[in-house]
């Protein structure tokens, strides 16, 4: 059993003895990292189907003579272990591998033209969230640290994760499944680090914050059952459309009137509403689907309960039926405060003036499942080209999302420094 890592303070984490070597050798990998990223971008794969990507990653780690390379974790995940030349603890680094069902609109020579099936429909596939960058960056870190292994005091676990964007309906996957299948065991790391490229920051900038950083992400479905009738005689039936409209408006009061938003923000959004087939027929039923975002687990549970009771009460008042399903997906992404404070000197050294403290992000990340097991730190890497206002740049998940590849080398150096600084700060047995 691994000895638990001792708490770190900012004073204990200083530039590792590897810092100068990392800075000196990382630039030689930039061309390879960009080439990997372009290849992956041109050949994206959806969650739980990252067969080609996983094969490239596994082959790369084996070619670097990793001590262990495990494949097929959570369907297509890859876990590699690099043992250093000196004894010490274990640290983990993670990259997600999946693309999105988005048709790319960029006119790039390596743009994606892949098409596949998703939810019974033919769709385009694109790395519209930048996971191609994450994989290429972590492959670069693997090359860098494999060449410096004799100087490493401990081991580095490399986790290449599938299905961060959710597995296909009816399947399990992602970080939760990787944890269940032992990705963090044998050996167990004392800390885990990850990053995400973002259009919201200029290229090369690094964003960080401590504590709750990205929101939980939960799904709800509400079906309102009425009684069909002629639109000219609504009193002869029960109108599920009017009832649903009242529910939609009522849901907006949950955050604005029941949650202490001075403590943490929250969002309840209805994104789908479907009902009826003709303008003069009141239908039998209406379906609504939406998302709930929170930064506090207590607020999360309370909002879930209120969505259910409010929808049911409004429906009952209109003599309509109502079925509510609320499904938990991703927990709050919480950067461990002690780990974040301890690693701040590393962030400052790598980022310099490009380091910035960011606001909470209402997007979600299943990196949170890893953070529930071991202390974790998740940061952001800007990839919007200079001269373009990040506020107006096409965002992640857009078919026009575009990456300035000058930021990739920053990501390689950042993850390498975080891993090695953390390892050298641990007390030696």
Question: Catalytic residues, which ones?
Answer: 330, 405
What is the gyration radius of the CA atoms in the chain, in angstroms?
24
Which residues pair with residue 284 across a beta bridge? none
CA 371 to chain centre: 12
Q: What share of the chain is helix, strand, coil (3-state, %, to 5)?
A: 35, 30, 35
Return the residue matching tokens 């090695």: 420
d(CA 185, CA 81): 11
Which tokens hold the place of 86?
């000196």
Kindly give the residue spans of alpha helices, DSSP state H, lying in 43-152.
51-63, 131-146
DSSP secondary-structure letter at 287? Answer: E
Cα–Cα distance list, 5 to 283, 356, 374, 423, 424 (Å) = 60, 28, 10, 10, 12
d(CA 76, CA 55): 9
In terms of Cβ atoms closer than 10 Å to its own Cβ (0-12, 13-18, 19+), residue 203 is buried
Return the residue matching tokens 């638990």: 4
Q: Sort residue 380 into left (φ over 0), alpha (ψ -120 to 50) or beta.
A: beta
- Angle (CA) 411-348-94 rounded to 5° is 35
Residue-by-residue DSSP string for 176-232 = HHHHHTTTT-SSPPSEEEEEEEEEEEETT-EEE-SEEEE--EEEEEEEEE-B-EETT
Nearest to 264 by CA among 220, 230, 216, 219: 216
d(CA 144, CA 23): 10
What is the β-pairing status of strands 206-208 and 355-357?
Answer: parallel
Query: What is the three-class DSSP state of 104?
Result: coil
Greatest distance between any 2 Cα atoms in the chain:
82
């Amino acid at each position: 059993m691994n000895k638990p890592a001792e708490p770190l303070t900012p004073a204990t984490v200083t530039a590792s003895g590897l810092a100068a070597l990392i800075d000196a050798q990382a630039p030689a990998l930039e061309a390879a990292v960009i080439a990997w990223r372009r290849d992956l971008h041109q050949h994206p794969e959806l969650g739980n189907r990252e067969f080609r990507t996983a094969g490239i990653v596994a082959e790369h780690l084996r070619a670097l003579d990793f001590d262990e390379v495990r494949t097929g974790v959570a369907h297509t995940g890859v876990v590699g272990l690099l043992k250093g030349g000196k004894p010490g603890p274990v640290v983990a680094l993670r990259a997600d591998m999946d693309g999105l069902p988005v048709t790319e609109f960029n006119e790039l020579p390596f743009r994606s033209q892949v098409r596949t099936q998703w939810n019974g429909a033919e769709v385009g596939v694109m790395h519209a969230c930048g996971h191609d960058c994450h994989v290429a960056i972590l492959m670069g870190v693997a090359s860098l640290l494999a060449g410096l292994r004799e100087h490493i005091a401990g081991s580095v676990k490399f986790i290449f994760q599938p299905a961060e964007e959710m597995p296909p309906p009816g399947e399990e996957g992602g970080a939760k499944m990787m944890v269940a299948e032992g990705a963090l065991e044998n050996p167990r790391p004392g800390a885990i680090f990850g990053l995400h490229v973002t259009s919201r920051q200029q290229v090369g900038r690094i964003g960080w914050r401590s504590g709750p950083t990205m929101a939980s992400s939960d799904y709800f479905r509400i079906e309102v059952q009425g009684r069909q009738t002629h639109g000219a005689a609504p009193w002869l039936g029960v109108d599920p459309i009017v009832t649903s409209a009242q529910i939609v408006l009522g849901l907006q009061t949950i955050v604005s009137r029941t949650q202490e938003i001075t403590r943490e923000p929250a969002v309840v959004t209805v994104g789908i509403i479907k009902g009826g087939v003709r303008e003069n027929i009141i239908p039998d039923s209406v379906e609504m689907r939406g998302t709930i975002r929170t930064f506090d687990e207590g607020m999360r549970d309370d909002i879930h309960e209120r969505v259910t009771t409010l929808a049911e009460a409004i429906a009952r008042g209109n003599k309509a039926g109502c079925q509510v399903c609320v499904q938990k997906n991703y927990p709050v992404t919480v950067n461990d405060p002690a780990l974040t404070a301890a690693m701040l000197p590393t962030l400052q050294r790598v980022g310099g003036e490009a380091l910035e403290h960011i606001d909470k992000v209402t997007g979600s990340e299943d990196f949170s499942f890893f953070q529930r097991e071991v202390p974790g730190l998740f940061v952001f890497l800007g990839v919007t080209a200079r001269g373009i206002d990040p506020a107006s740049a096409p965002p992640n998940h857009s078919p026009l999302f575009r990456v300035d590849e000058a930021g990739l080398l920053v990501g390689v150096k950042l993850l390498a420094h975080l891993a090695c600084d953390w390892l050298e700060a641990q007390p030696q047995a």
